[in-house]
A and B are shown apart, each in its own frame.
Chain A
């Protein structure tokens, strides 16, 4: 069914050769329909069905319970915080390397390292942060014994909102660096020269020329980082176990053991995740298209 939807998008070729042509993409179409599109549709449709298969909005309505709503809220807040901070810090680092007059040789290693760090997520990342900022972690112990600063007394706990946000930043910052560096490279010298010939100060150049040009890439990347953090399951589970009530952990527990006591509520929970990451990604694609107007 869906394979016809995919194939109907293209203009048909000469009629007598048509069947053989389509056979070439048949394995790919079969694979994506069976293992990507159908499983997703199963969730989406299931979110709007009662157990005996009739249409209903009750599952979506069922999401409006305090515990599920708070899970979404915490998830969105963590994703937002790590996206905003990741964008700001990543931008500062990338700007320092591209525009700040640092030695040129730093650039290559920094981008390579960002490639590695942005892929270093999941369970091992949680271990790394536990060994650093956990109760007996390197930084915690150093601050306590050398500087007399007790993080726990200050109310810091790695298994919390800020702990998870700090951990996510480890892959968010490098991802921002990877995406924004080409955009910063795209700022043409001529624009700056033109601005200063017309009498603009450095601040005016940034506010009126560079910032508006970079804004779509900046916001687009933020949307991407948001989706990236929202869908992260492994890091959260390895770090907090099940002590933090966020959507991926709740869904994980639901799939494992139906903790919500209603399989179709699980579908609705997953559907909500698709909607959030879908909107974030659509924003990213739209903003990236806009940024390409100037930065090519």
Chain B
């Protein structure tokens, strides 16, 4: 009886997950009347706007990840090493992007960094790109900081630093050649999640008028029938890929110490 109920709940849950995925896949293949075909995918992939926006978003994601690593790894390391009293405050700040909706943050950007302000970032195309990158870094901050901080917890930061210092290493060498390789798996987890967030992000890119993948998808959705379903399948594949890679690298991390 209990098992029957349990199977019922699980099957309901699985139906809820899989029906939309089956629905979008099925729909994306139905562009040619009466038979299944990949026409919608061919059309999407050959659309120059798709190629432009996708390349733009991938570039933005990579730049955001690089910026995030440069900002967060040294900060988390420094806080653990020298300013442990500051950790709760830093942690609180890093969780704020989960509390303040992205649309409010970007609203603040538009008002604060417009052409008549002290830092007119939205005045030029490059400036807006930089602003959008900072916005993405803000959205990724909770995930990135938590990943790196968890990674740092597993290593003895103090001893490693002292050992490196007594061998004459500079701060740059310590962070880039000792700390970073040790938390690389954690950094990669944060990086993949950042990639998944940035690639489909809509709100910030749309309100800053940037030709990113998210607004492109929305625009196509308003005007076409089959192509959006194909895009949804592609986007789901990317999300699945990023999360799968996180699983893969964290499994690698769990087994690595045992092998050593």
Contact = CB atoms under 8 A, between A and B. Distances in A.
Contacts of A128: 20-21, 23-24, 229, 232, 236
Interface of B: 2-3, 5-10, 12-13, 16-17, 19-24, 26-28, 71-72, 74-75, 78-79, 82-83, 85-86, 89-90, 93, 96-112, 134-135, 137-138, 141, 193, 196-197, 200-203, 206-207, 214, 217-218, 221-222, 228-229, 231-232, 235-236, 239-240, 243-244, 247
A200 interface: no
A25 interface: yes
Contact of B228 (A28, A130, A174): A130
21 contacts: A6-B86, A11-B85, A21-B82, A27-B74, A28-B72, A40-B96, A119-B197, A123-B235, A128-B23, A128-B232, A128-B236, A131-B24, A137-B23, A138-B27, A173-B13, A173-B17, A234-B214, A251-B104, A255-B103, A274-B99, A274-B101
Contact of B137 (A31, A95, A255): A31
A203 B108 CA distance: 52
Nearest to B19: A132
A46 interface: yes
Interface in A16-72: 21, 24-25, 27-28, 31-32, 34-43, 46
Given A128-B20, A173-B16, A277-B99, A102 B82 contact: no
B232 A124 contact: yes
Contacts of A169: 16
Given A116-B239, A122-B200, A127-B24, A24 B109 contact: no
A211 interface: no
A27 B103 contact: no
By CB atoms of chain A within 10 A, which of B79, B86, B134, B193 has the most?
B86
Contacts of B23: 128-129, 131-133, 137-139
A35 B78 contact: no
Given A31-B134, A42-B111, A117-B17, A127 B232 contact: yes
Contacts of B107: 39, 43, 251, 255, 266, 270
B83 A233 contact: no
A251 B111 CA distance: 14
Nearest to A114: B17
Given A43-B104, A281-B99, A102 B203 contact: no
A261 B76 CA distance: 44
A278 interface: yes
Nearest to A282: B99
A259 to B, nearest CB: 14
A116 B246 CA distance: 11
A159 interface: no
A258 B200 CA distance: 26
A70 B102 CA distance: 22
Contacts of B93: 6, 32, 36-37
Q: Which 5 A-B pairs have the closest CB atoms?
A: A39-B108, A100-B6, A132-B23, A231-B101, A131-B27
A192 B147 CA distance: 36
A28 B202 CA distance: 26
A36 B97 contact: yes
Given A127-B217, A127-B231, 7 more contacts: A92-B12, A100-B6, A106-B10, A119-B243, A133-B23, A234-B214, A237-B218
Interface string A102-140: 100010001011011101101111111111110001110
B89 A9 contact: yes
A32 B74 CA distance: 15
Contact of A100 (B2, B22, B108, B243): B2
Contact of B236 (A100, A120, A174, A237): A120
Contacts of A186: none
Contacts of B112: 38-39, 42
Contact of A274 (B82, B97, B104, B217): B104
A30 to B, nearest CB: 10
A244 interface: no
Contacts of A119: 193, 196-197, 239, 243
A148 interface: no
Nearest to A36: B138
A123 B103 contact: no
B218 A238 contact: yes
Contacts of A21: 82-83
A252 B207 contact: yes
Contacts of B97: 36
A89 B12 CA distance: 9
A14 to B, nearest CB: 11
Contact of A89 (B16, B74, B135, B207): B16
Given A35-B109, A113-B17, A234 B203 contact: yes
